[in-house]
Structure formats: C-alpha cells, structure tokens
Chains A and B, each alone.
Chain A
C-alpha cells in the first residue's frame, strides 16, 4: 500500500512525531511504501539539523533522515509554516526539503491512505 503521512506537532514536546516515525518504520518493514511525510504546523521543527538532544535520548531528526535515506521517503516541510517558525533551507537536516502545501494535497491524491499525526 502507498502511504502518506502528515505530522503536525513538534518533536519532544508531543508524541506525534514519535508515533508517526514508528508507524512509517513499521510500514516499510512490512513492505508498504511511504511516499511522503508532510511536516506542518509545529511539525516543521522535526526538520532542523540544529537539534541536539541529550545523548541518552532518541534523535528524532536524524531518525527521519535515516528513514528517508534507507527507503526513499520524501520528507517535505511546508514553506509557509517553516518560514513562520525560522526553519529555512540552511538548517534542514539531510533528506528534508521545503515545498508548498500543494505537496500535501498531491500526497492525498496519490496515496492509498493519508494518515495524520497530531492533536
């Protein structure tokens, strides 16, 4: 099955990005395709390489980058939401790209299921 995800909460404050990642990782393990993860609202904070959690904690940003590299997952950060929050090209972690809300609509059209993670 072809899946698209939307993550609409920031990392560490909210469980949404953890659950989304675990869902995506489980899906690709089961042979499904995760065509895109769209980061919206505070979800755009999942994309900054400036993130430095304590060493004994999970690294949410690097985890997304690794997933993208291993399974060709398209990690898209909403440009309007990102610029509002100071997330720009120069702070993006590997595998992330900035694009428009059209990428969310496009994902909804192309994916078999679009799954939202957030409040």
Chain B
C-alpha cells in the first residue's frame, strides 16, 4: 500500500511515489493507493501546472488500471476538510472514513508513505 499525503506540486514526493507504484505493479504485487491530507489534491480533475514548467503527472493516475492497480482509497475527512467531493476526482475511488482506513492499513504487509 502506498500512502500519498502531499500536494501534487511544490515537492517531488507525489511524482516519485507514482514512480514506485508503477515499478511495484510490475513485480506482481497486490498494490493499493491511499490519498489523504493534501494527497487528495493529487487526483483532483483539471490540473494545469503548465505555468510552473513542471509536467502534469495527474494523467498517469488514469492509466493505473492498465497496470492492474485498481484499489484507490481516499479518506473522507481529508476530502471534506478541503471542500472536495468524489465528483472532483479524476479516477474512480473508494471513499473511506479514517477509522476504516486505519483498519485497512493494519491488514497490509507493507505500507510506504510519501
């Protein structure tokens, strides 16, 4: 499980997390992604970083199902705190409360947080 907690731009964490996810998928692992805190902004629709000179990597999230990465979870509290709903997201996700998210994390063999 890869936990994404940072905004998509401003730091490189989101991009380099995505790179690990793609590699892990090629290792035939049971890969899932969690988006919480500012990490929910990573999958918000309509990203346009063109004015910053940094590439828009948000399209890659839409390609994840091609790598058999289909388990995407978003924390409800993180969405609500930022005035976002599932309709604002560019991929299909499962929205979970923080308690359910904690249970899910406890089941994982490995959790890597970025």
Contact = CB atoms under 8 A, between A and B. Distances in A.
A74 to B, nearest CB: 17
Given A41-B12, A105-B27, A105-B29, A6 B112 contact: yes
Interface string B12-28: 11001001100110110
A15 interface: no
B102 interface: no
Contacts of B27: 102, 105-106, 109
Nearest to B110: A108
Contacts of A109: 27, 29, 110
B29 to A, nearest CB: 7
B98 interface: no
B16 A41 contact: yes
A81 to B, nearest CB: 6
Contacts of B24: 105, 108
B13 A116 contact: no
Given A6-B112, A114-B112, A104 B29 contact: no
Interface residues of A, number: 17
Contacts of A65: none
A102 B24 CA distance: 7
B61 interface: no
Contacts of B23: 100-102, 104-105
A41 B13 contact: yes
A48 interface: no
B16 to A, nearest CB: 6
Given A100-B23, A101-B23, A102-B23, A108 B16 contact: no
Given A100-B23, A102-B27, A116 B16 contact: no
B114 interface: yes
Query: Across chains A and B, which 7 residue pairs bring their CB atoms closest together, nearest first?
Result: A108-B110, A101-B23, A105-B24, A105-B27, A114-B110, A101-B20, A116-B113
Given A105-B20, A105-B23, 13 more contacts: A8-B13, A40-B20, A80-B19, A101-B23, A102-B23, A102-B26, A102-B27, A105-B24, A108-B110, A114-B110, A114-B112, A116-B112, A119-B13
